[in-house]
Amino acid sequence: MATDSPSARVRARLAHPVIDADGHTVEFWPALAAYVREEGLRPDPDRPLSSLGVLPAWGRLTPSERAERRCVRTPWWAFPAKNTLDLATATLPALLHARLDELGIDFAVAYPSLGLVFLHLPDDEARRATCRALNRYHADVFRDLRDRLEPVAVIPMQTPAEAIEELEHAVRGLGFKAVLLGGYAVRTVPSVARAAPTVADHATWLDAFGLDSPFDYDPVWAKCAELGVSVAAHSVGMGWGSRRSISSYVYNHIGNFAAAGEMLARSLFLGGVTRRFPSLRFAFLEGGVAWGRTLYGDLISHWEKRNRDAVQLYNPVHVDRALFGRLLEQYGGELLKRAAASGGSPGVAAEAPVEDAGATDDFAACEIGSVEDLRNLFVPRFFFGCEADDPLTALAFDRRLCPGGVRLNALFGSDIGHWDVPDAREVLAEAFALVDRGLLSREDFRDFSFANAARFYLETNPDFFRGTRVEDATRALFQ
């Protein structure tokens, strides 16, 4: 294969390998279908994906029916069709392996495309069977390529039991070293399901596993730690809240990965998961790092003002009614004084609900005693997947703009195989433009395109890169 390209020329200027932490495959359905059938499913041969629930009904509805049902516009024309070489590269792992030097990539972690949908199929049988089929398919098609390509296993998370079962099968049975967990589970509000079952599908909430889940997901995190797999999430947020356009995929797509990642990270952190499982690392892919900076800053400011002790500043029992009365008399004017004469209350603040003593510390599960504790539970635990065309990746490395002068863990992800990469030969070069523009130093770029991804995997599995092209370079990081 040809090796000269804009990205190959950038790679030649680097003194370190490049790890693509988020490439994608495009599943070859004629081959995958056989695995799906072996798992007991019988998709309609004329419309296999629709019959499995993978494709929405949007294309089969009239405009009025879409409006009536509020049918969300989802992805269409999502793969590089005209650039057939890139389409084939994403579909045929051996071709991707052969082109890696041309793409400037030494090692790539390959995520699915259909698998992002399989994880969230509402039908229990279809979800579990398609995930199992995809894992078996990827284990086979990547079998002889893992010196430079590592596929991920998809792990459904509707219940802890199904997650643990697939983790065991994927890691111990099929030999996967990287996993992709569903980032949330859609749950029906029980009271609505009982009272109005015909509309129950429209009365749902999102369980992000750390807070308020009806299940205890700690056994899942414990299993990940036991198996030595870091946790990656790549779920979509289309169809949530404001991202429910019936006509515009772009409207629904913008910011959706960030929304899904932020929800999961917020839930895991406040649910104390990073406290209870210090060895685990969590990656939130394709949403960039800007939301991570915002979340980190918000957690600090909220903890400083609403930690267990500070929140007592807002407890209505501490209102000095005598002082308030004197100030009311002096500054309230006739209107407010006449109103106060009927009850004498200091106002709305004193009528806030009285919380029980055990419900006034939103950070209890984190066991935080200082900002340094918060930093140690967030910064080294969370990693943020950034695409090559995202200039805000630089925010991860600018210590001046982050509380405490920390840097966040940004991961380079090519997203090869999807519509936002019209030419795979240019991805690394596009990312390196941040260096040329002075937004990243070469050291920053080394961490972005190599060291952070290496740490994400090595800190849970020191043997992750054994036998790969980057084994020696990654081992040197810890010497």
CB-based contacts of 384: which residues, under 8 Å, 6+ apart? 261, 283, 284, 287, 288, 289, 292, 396, 408, 409, 410, 411
- Three-state SS sequence of 365-409: HHCCCCHHHHHHHHCCCEEEEEECCCHHHHHHCCHHHCHHHCCCE
Q: How far apart are CA 166 and CA 163, in angstroms?
A: 5
If one counts every other C-beta atom within 10 angstroms of the C-beta of residue 245, the result is 16
In this predicted model, what pLDDT tens digit does every residue of 404-453 receive, in sequence order? 899 999 999 999 999 999 999 999 999 999 999 999 999 999 999 999 99
- pLDDT computed for residue 349 by the predictor: 60
Q: Taking 80 as the threshold, does the pLDDT of residue 300 lie above it?
A: yes
If one counts every other C-beta atom within 10 angstroms of the C-beta of residue 18, the result is 27
Q: How far apart are CA 394 and CA 406, in angstroms?
A: 13
Say if residues 453 and 178 touch (Cβ distance below 8 Å). no
- pLDDT computed for residue 185 by the predictor: 96
Q: Which residues of 405-442 are buried (b: 16+ CB within 10 A; e: fewer)?
A: eeebbbbbbbbbbbeebeebbbbbbbbbebbeeebbee
Q: How far apart are CA 473 and CA 405, in angstroms?
A: 28
Of 8-17, 233-242, 333-342, 467-476, least confident by mean pLDDT is: 333-342
The angle subtended at Cα 453 by Cα 265 and Cα 173, nearest 5°, is 85
Q: Taking 80 as the threshold, does the pLDDT of residue 138 lie above it?
A: yes
In this predicted model, what pLDDT tens digit does every residue of 192-201 receive, in sequence order? 767 777 776 6
pTM: 0.94
> Which range among 33-37, 66-70, 313-317 has the greatest average pLDDT?
33-37
Using CA atoms, how far residue 373 sits from 231, 305, 452, in Å, is 22, 16, 22
Closest CA to 398 of 441, 428, 461: 441
Say if residues 116 and 236 touch (Cβ distance below 8 Å). yes
Closest CA to 179 of 104, 316, 283: 283
In this predicted model, what pLDDT tens digit does every residue of 249-263 receive, in sequence order? 999 999 999 999 999
Q: Which domains does the chain have, with CATH numbers?
A: 6-305+369-476 (3.20.20.140), 312-359 (no CATH)
For the chain, what is the mean pLDDT? 93
What is the amino acid identity at position 7? S
- pLDDT computed for residue 337 by the predictor: 87
Task: Determine the angle formed by the axes of helices 333-341 and 321-331, rounding to 10 degrees.
Answer: 140
In this predicted model, what pLDDT tens digit does every residue of 343-398 receive, in sequence order? 656 666 656 666 665 678 999 999 999 999 999 999 999 999 999 999 999 999 99
Banded pLDDT at 463 (limits 50, 70, 90): very high
Using CA atoms, how far residue 342 sits from 331, 336, 338, 403, in Å, is 18, 10, 7, 48
Using CA atoms, how far residue 479 sits from 445, 472, 473, 475, 476, in Å, is 20, 11, 10, 7, 5
Say if residues 95 and 88 touch (Cβ distance below 8 Å). yes
| Strands 409-413, 382-387: pairing kind | parallel
| Three-state DSSP state, 145 | coil
